[in-house]
Amino acid sequence: MQLEKKHALYGATIGLFLLSISWYYLLWNSSIWESLTLVIPEGAQLIDLGLAGLLFAIVFGITGAMCQYFEKMEVHIYGKAGVLLGVITGAIIFGISIEGIVLAVALLLGFIVMVEYTFIKKDELKKHVVYRSVAGAAHTAFFVIGLSLFFVGLFSGMSNAEQNLEKFDNALLNVSVQEDTLKAISERDAQLILDSKLQTIDDVSESNDFLRIINVESENSDALLGFVSEYRNVLLNPSTKEKLSNQIFEERKKSQSAVSIQEIAETSPMLGFLRENFWIFYGLSAMLSFFFISGILAFIVTATAKVIDVVYEKVF
């Protein structure tokens, strides 16, 4: 290997090291575990996550470019050294967590897939080798990383389960307490009230005291029985339930009375299932969030590799 190529290899390693430290810091500073789950990032946090994503893509872009000019073993040794030392240094400086360990393993797996896939495709392709080999490798590596992020989400959800369940409940309330949900709860409450009144009438009508009054006051018994029957008909009338339901609905809207998550879970079995298995939702949220942006990241990876390829050809 010529001295100039060694300089390029060392430079790439140092670049990966510095980018990995910066990437780790941005993730740590942005509270990534909340952003990948239930909290929508905004402001400074969104900027940190955007920059972290950009640096993440550039790391893989440099890796893809290294595969074009150096031996596979050299890329594995020097590339891994740069990335792992950077992540370890970042963890020592800024702090480490279970999620961080899992994410570091995911990054390592992605790096290995990136290198192996690029070398395989590089030997097979005849045209647009850099673009096509790096693009395919990036998509494959990001798929592996996305699956790994499922477990990151699981760890994030299960750690501090009580606190995370409270956040999950708040998130469900924010997206679930809409007008339709309030109407459904109001209709259920109205039915419960009417059923209770009907049960009371039945209990009174069948009681010994009521039957004794009917027998003693024979001249008024027909009127009393008629009143009871009419009252039952009023309670059973659909318009009565609708009127009572609307009244409850308006009172809830005005006072914004607390609609408990248990009430919502009862009216929506799917939400109840999500609440009982919220930690799985954390994992799916992390994985799908990454898959959603993986296409943009893969484009940045490919563009970075292509730019480095052009510069390398001119310099060396």
User: Is 128 domain-assigned?
Assistant: yes
pLDDT tens for 112-133 read 999 999 998 888 877 888 888 8
**Backbone torsion region of residue 209, taken as left when φ is above 0, otherwise alpha when ψ lies between -120 and 50, otherwise beta:** alpha
Half-sphere exposure of 251 (CA within 13 A, CB side): 11
Q: Is the pTM of this model over 0.75?
A: no
- Higher pLDDT residue, 152 or 86? 86
Residues 203 and 285 in one domain: no
Residues 191 and 254 in one domain: yes
Q: Is residue 269 part of a domain?
A: no
**228 and 95 co-located in one domain:** no
- The residue with greater pLDDT, 40 or 271, is 271
239 and 288 in a common domain = no
pLDDT band, residue 3 (cuts 50/70/90)? very low
The Cα–Cα gap between 155 and 3 comes to 46
In a shared domain, residues 209 and 143: no
Q: Do 89 and 18 have their domain in common?
A: yes
Q: Which residue has the higher pLDDT, 175 or 239?
A: 239
Is residue 304 included in any domain, yes or no?
Answer: yes
- Find out whether 298 and 123 touch, Cβ atoms under 8 Å: no
* Residue 146 to residue 130: CA distance in whole angstroms: 24
User: 159-192 pLDDT, tens per residue?
Assistant: 666 666 666 666 666 555 555 666 777 788 888 8
Number of domains in the chain: 2
**pLDDT, tens only, 269-309:** 666 676 677 777 777 877 888 888 888 989 999 999 888 88
What is the span of the domain harbouring residue 27?
A: 3-160+279-315
Q: Does residue 71 lie in a domain region?
A: yes
- 222 and 186 in a single domain? The answer is yes
DSSP state of 31: T
Task: Examine residue 72 and state whether it is found in any structural domain, yes or no.
Answer: yes
- Are 18 and 146 within one domain? yes
CA-to-CA dists, residue 294 to 140, 141, 154, 186, 200, angstroms: 10, 10, 20, 43, 62
Higher pLDDT among residues 257 and 139, named by residue: 139
Task: Indicate if the pLDDT at residue 10 is higher than 60.
Answer: yes
Sign of CA dihedral 53, 55, 61, 64: negative
Q: With contact defined as beta carbons under 8 Å apart, do 110 and 60 qualify? A: yes
Please, which pLDDT band fits residue 35 given cuts at 50, 70 and 90? very low
Same domain? 48 vs 196? no
Position 299 scores a pLDDT of: 92
Q: What is the mean pLDDT of the chain?
A: 76
Q: What is the pLDDT of residues 198-220, one digit of tens each?
A: 888 777 777 777 777 777 656 66
pLDDT of 216? 67
Do 102 and 68 belong together in one domain?
yes
Residues ≥6 apart with Cβ < 8 Å to 218: none
Using CA atoms, how far apart are residues 316 and 312, in angstroms rounded to an integer?
Answer: 6
The answer to whether residues 212 and 79 belong to one domain is no
Confirm whether 267 is domain-assigned.
no
Which parts of 206-277 fold into alpha helices (H)?
Answer: 208-216, 218-236, 238-255, 261-267, 269-276
Residues 227 and 303 in one domain: no
